[in-house]
Structure 1
């Protein structure tokens, strides 16, 4: 074809140099035309037909493949293949044309594999196991390897050297590479530990005060873990920080189906006393402690009688106290509460008294782990406790306020 064009142009009286230039220009335009035609055939016809077929199929993975434009990027290889095939037409520049076109093909293959890894992650995320075993970190390591190998291959093609020789020479600079990819290596190792030990999953509620983290895990990648706090702010922390440092994972609470209430109220110790007959008669009308009072009265009378206790003084023998009766009331109240789990620990206990009074701690679990519901249940319980405590002739301890001091002065 080139000889035909040279003969045809020479008939027009063109010089040899001008003929060669014209022939080369025509061939370049022809190559560009063929590349553009083949590209548009693949883009506008073949790809559209393939898209229609994919949309009709029942599988989802091919839709994700199309959405991530993996096939679109593969089409960009066509012009480079055409240019590489026609390179012998230009013997003077053949070597460099083929080298550059090969580098371009390798570059497009890298971009295709990059999108292919994203597609694998999107497909994997459609399965339930993706929350427990995310693979994004591993795929990012795969991307790093692909880019590293691609750069080495491109350098080898341009330098006309074997990529294996370049890889061997890189071994001498391994210390520098380790320093460059330090975060990637640490993140990769941390990702393996987190996954293999089932320490963290997407959707887990974690808490790390050091980094201001208190919310749900959105994403686990090679370098970072993305968390959305309850105030809707997004925090990213290094993946290896979850292995090198401690963090609190609330997953156990969510899986158990119960969330702990551990809160105490301070009782004014000056209000603690033995129960007299008037108090006991009043307590007999409280449903939650009627059985308790009957049992304790019988038990105390039997003990005092057996031990010939002088009941003139309350110091002798055993007697009911308002704090003990109140504690029994709270226990029975919680045992009959519909939002308190009866399968988990349920306890009302006294802590060590201090300058703020006698702490009476409620230690129970709600049967609802949702945050808003949990807070409502907890508030409802303590609303009732604070309102009913005066019925047992007890007082809550609190530091004096301005109103209290005003009453004293008046």
Structure 2
């Protein structure tokens, strides 16, 4: 063995006793460090470029999406070479020093365990980045799964490391964890709750990346950008990011607008408050005046929503019919869903006439524009039916609301 030849060489130069043993040990340690450094240098200079070229054998968007994960994986694999090499040479170097051999063996194995775990998790990160690119609309909670796999990996590495240090079987170590169950549950409370919540969220398709959700308790109102094992991140409409626990998705209420986005339209539900004092019956002369108005003539020619010959015809009934006729003519209102103009319960602020329909365009900006255009038109046409919208007056008669 190496130390035998080393001691013989030192004896030839005149060393003996304690000085011989100390010198042999120091030279052995120096040789081990040189071996580690040389093997690490070779792995970095030869193996690392080779691994990088193999891992870089990707194209287009995949290459860009994994620019952080690829070098990390190659670097961790390169670290395995010195550890594997040293494991095979521990006995060769330290056979004459049992204690040093024991600790060198343990340290080497710990180093190997660490980089096996890091290599495996880096590989998971690489595969996750590729999956996220290839399946951008996937409802599979892949981030939760990958975080769980990485957590289990490091738990296993930790158990193996502790069992190596104490010199006992991992099975014996696991058998003693029963007494620590309560502590482990406390330490990993959020992780365990997040795991259960993630399974339920994925199984019931409650939330997926890209969904628009509202969660007032946490101030979240925007698109989900990440559903992880312990946290959910939401990018709000003001570009702030709200983070809350994953288990809050099953313990608290929230609104998910995905169903609206997947449906045929986005609901418009808004009312105009009519001043009750302006509602009255319409006689033949007034009806003729309405029909002759250029803004209403087409409505009276095409409408079938109210009987113009009834004796108790009111201007509010004509206005409701006009609303429904307008909605039925609108090219951006989904006619396959509910279209309605209804009268609500009168209140101290007037008689609400509610518009209920669905915009075919679900984009927020376009939706607001369509809704505003409809109500601009309805408010502008009110005086043509001799109606007024209610406005509360102040003490001196000024309009205050």
Q: Same fold (TM over 0.5)?
A: yes
Shift in CA distance, 63/13, structure 1 to aligned 2, threshold 3 Å: farther
Alignment correspondent of 1:314: none
Encode CA deviations 1:216-246: one digit per residue, 9 max, x unaligned. Answer: 0000001111001111111111111111222
Which residue among 301, 307, 317 is the counterpart of 1:290? 301
Q: Contact 1:131/1:203 (CA < 8 Å) preserved in 2?
A: no
Which residue among 83, 86, 90 is the counterpart of 2:89? 86
* 1:146-295 matches, cutoff 5 A: 146-285=153-292, 286=296, 287-292=298-303
Q: Contact 2:344/2:354 (CA < 8 Å) preserved in 1?
A: yes
Stretches of structure 2 that go unaligned for 5 or more consecutive residues are none
Q: Contact 1:268/1:396 (CA < 8 Å) preserved in 2?
A: yes
* 1:294-373 matches, cutoff 5 A: 296-297=307-308, 300=310, 318-373=311-366
Alignment correspondent of 1:385: 378
Encode CA deviations 1:17-69: one digit per residue, 9 max, x unaligned. Answer: 33333333333333222222222222222221332344345594998495261
Encode CA deviations 1:239-276: one digit per residue, 9 max, x unaligned. Answer: 11111222110001111141111000110111111112
Distance across 2 between alignment mates of 1:243 and 1:212 = 17
Distance across 1 between alignment mates of 2:166 and 2:304 = 95
Question: C-alpha displacement at 1:363, in angstroms?
Answer: 0.5
* 1:6-155 matches, cutoff 5 A: 6-57=7-58, 60=62, 64=66, 67=70, 69-88=72-91, 89-90=93-94, 91-92=97-98, 93-128=100-135, 131-155=138-162
Mean alpha-carbon deviation: is it higher for 382-391 or for 73-82?
Answer: 73-82
Distance across 1 between alignment mates of 2:210 and 2:187 = 32
Question: C-alpha displacement at 1:130, in angstroms?
Answer: 5.6
Distance across 2 between alignment mates of 1:271 and 1:370 = 37
Distance across 2 between alignment mates of 1:12 and 1:338 = 102
Distance across 1 between alignment mates of 2:299 and 2:65 = 63
Larger Rg: 1
Distance across 1 between alignment mates of 2:9 and 2:206 = 77
Shift in CA distance, 130/122, structure 1 to aligned 2, threshold 3 Å: farther
Distance across 2 between alignment mates of 1:161 and 1:97 = 17
What is the TM-score when the length of structure 1 is the normalising length? 0.88
Encode CA deviations 1:278-307: one digit per residue, 9 max, x unaligned. Answer: 321122232123233797235x3xxxxxxx
Q: Contact 2:215/2:221 (CA < 8 Å) preserved in 1?
A: yes
Mean alpha-carbon deviation: is it higher for 12-21 or for 55-64?
Answer: 55-64
Aligned partner of residue 381 in structure 1, secondary structure: helix
Aligned partner of residue 355 in structure 1, secondary structure: coil
Shift in CA distance, 62/20, structure 1 to aligned 2, threshold 3 Å: farther
* CA RMSD in angstroms, aligned pairs only: 2.4
Q: Contact 2:232/2:243 (CA < 8 Å) preserved in 1?
A: yes
What is the TM-score when the length of structure 2 is the normalising length? 0.89
Q: Contact 1:51/1:66 (CA < 8 Å) preserved in 2?
A: no
Distance across 2 between alignment mates of 1:297 and 1:366 = 30
Distance across 2 between alignment mates of 1:154 and 1:49 = 30
Shift in CA distance, 63/328, structure 1 to aligned 2, threshold 3 Å: closer
Distance across 1 between alignment mates of 2:352 and 2:395 = 24
Distance across 2 between alignment mates of 1:101 and 1:294 = 87
Stretches of structure 1 that go unaligned for 5 or more consecutive residues are 301-317
Question: C-alpha displacement at 1:337, in angstroms?
Answer: 1.3
Shift in CA distance, 325/163, structure 1 to aligned 2, threshold 3 Å: same
Q: Contact 2:306/2:321 (CA < 8 Å) preserved in 1?
A: no
